[in-house]
Structure 1
């Protein structure tokens, strides 16, 4: 089994290739809004470095959102294009779950409330707890909430770019960000059980209705 994992939903770009046991390739570019220029070259470099090809893949995993509108859209579009053209299934992974997985990877936190800044005085939020397979699993539903409503929805230690918006004192874990490494870790378990879907379901999740109409209000493209 080989799996390609893509992450562009957090205004950075990272790519990982894994097999059943280990990471074969990982690269990350933290330049803001450079995803469209970097993702395909990084994928090509991954195949070259591991002496493999897209035909060797069992599936493609991707962060399906919520997150940056343009970043989520890029991730879903690239995943769907590659999957369609190579007859591969896909594994959508929540960006918030990947953020929670990053908190475990980096700090060994086993219960977290993942929060991302959604602009417009709102945050994306959900809580996660580590399971027996060392995967962070949701204990509630992903929500798009105002700062005050998010305070009531919080269950565990706050992490992510929206943490300080919910609690001004929650500054310790703001810099934790998800990468393709975390997408791959979550997706590996699903891939081993062949829990994937067809390319037509490589769809973005925004949580906000008519997200494209509100981009000017977010002050970003």
Structure 2
């Protein structure tokens, strides 16, 4: 098995290439909003440094959102193009699930609430728990909520770019540990996409390239910021 994982759903860009048991390549570009310039060069570098051809891949995994509109769109478009070229299956991974997986990788937390800043005084949010295979799984729906609604929806330690926006000190839950600071700033990378995708690839839980679709949660995500919120 060889999997290529792409992550550009937020403001950074990263690429990982793994096999059944180890990471063969990982590179992160933390420059803000540089995904368009970096995702293909990083992908080419991953293939070159691991002596891998696209045709050698078992599947391509990508963060399908929610997240930055342009970042999610770029990730889906590049994944589709690469997969179509070699008729490869695709594994779409939630960016919130990847964030939860990153929290486990970096802190060991096995229950978290993943929260991403969605702008416009809203956040993307979902609650996650570790399964028997070491993968963080959602226990409820991914939602786009305002800060007050998100605070009520939060069940565990909030992590991610939106964690400071939901006032976690107001959350009354026995599941939120007092041993760790009230919020944890964590960003998912292609490493986390790859970890989730490896387990799904074993189960052949994938889709055809045409179904490598972005998930925005916000219906008017295509609008420019000044237009959002206006009535039709």
**Range of TM-score over shorter length:** over 0.9
Take 2:31 and 2:129, find their aligned partners in 1: how far apart are those partners? 30
TM normalised by structure 2 equals: 0.91
Could you say which residue in structure 1 is the equivalent of 2:205? 195
Aligned counterparts, 1:206-217, within 5 A: 206-216=216-226
- TM-aligned CA distance change 1:152 to 1:173, over 3 Å: closer
Other structure's SS at 2:144 match: strand
Unaligned residue ranges in structure 2 (runs of 5+): 171-180
Could you say which residue in structure 2 is the equivalent of 1:124? 124
TM normalised by structure 1 equals: 0.95
Take 1:42 and 1:175, find their aligned partners in 2: how far apart are those partners? 25
CA contact (8 A) 1:120 1:217 kept: no
TM superposition shift of 1:172: 4.9
Other structure's SS at 2:48 match: helix
Could you say which residue in structure 2 is the equivalent of 1:176? 186
CA contact (8 A) 1:151 1:166 kept: yes
Take 1:33 and 1:174, find their aligned partners in 2: how far apart are those partners? 22
Unaligned residue ranges in structure 1 (runs of 5+): none
Q: Which has the larger radius of gyration?
A: 2
> Could you give the per-residue CA deviations for residues 140-186 of structure 1, whole angstroms, max 9, x where no partner exists?
00000000001110100010110111016596544210000000000
Q: Count residues with an aligned counterpart.
A: 218
Could you say which residue in structure 1 is the equivalent of 2:2? 2
Other structure's SS at 1:212 match: coil
- TM-aligned CA distance change 1:102 to 1:173, over 3 Å: farther
Other structure's SS at 1:48 match: helix
> Could you give the per-residue CA deviations for residues 103-129 of structure 1, whole angstroms, max 9, x where no partner exists?
000000000000000000100000000
> Could you give the per-residue CA deviations for residues 40-62 of structure 1, whole angstroms, max 9, x where no partner exists?
11011111111111110010000
> Could you give the per-residue CA deviations for residues 54-98 of structure 1, whole angstroms, max 9, x where no partner exists?
110010000000001100000000001111111001000000000
Q: CA RMSD in A?
A: 1.4
Other structure's SS at 1:127 match: strand
Could you say which residue in structure 2 is the equivalent of 1:49? 49
Other structure's SS at 1:46 match: helix
1:34 aligns with 2:44: no
Aligned counterparts, 1:1-221, within 5 A: 1-167=1-167, 169=169, 172-216=182-226
Take 2:158 and 2:144, find their aligned partners in 1: how far apart are those partners? 15
CA contact (8 A) 2:151 2:168 kept: no
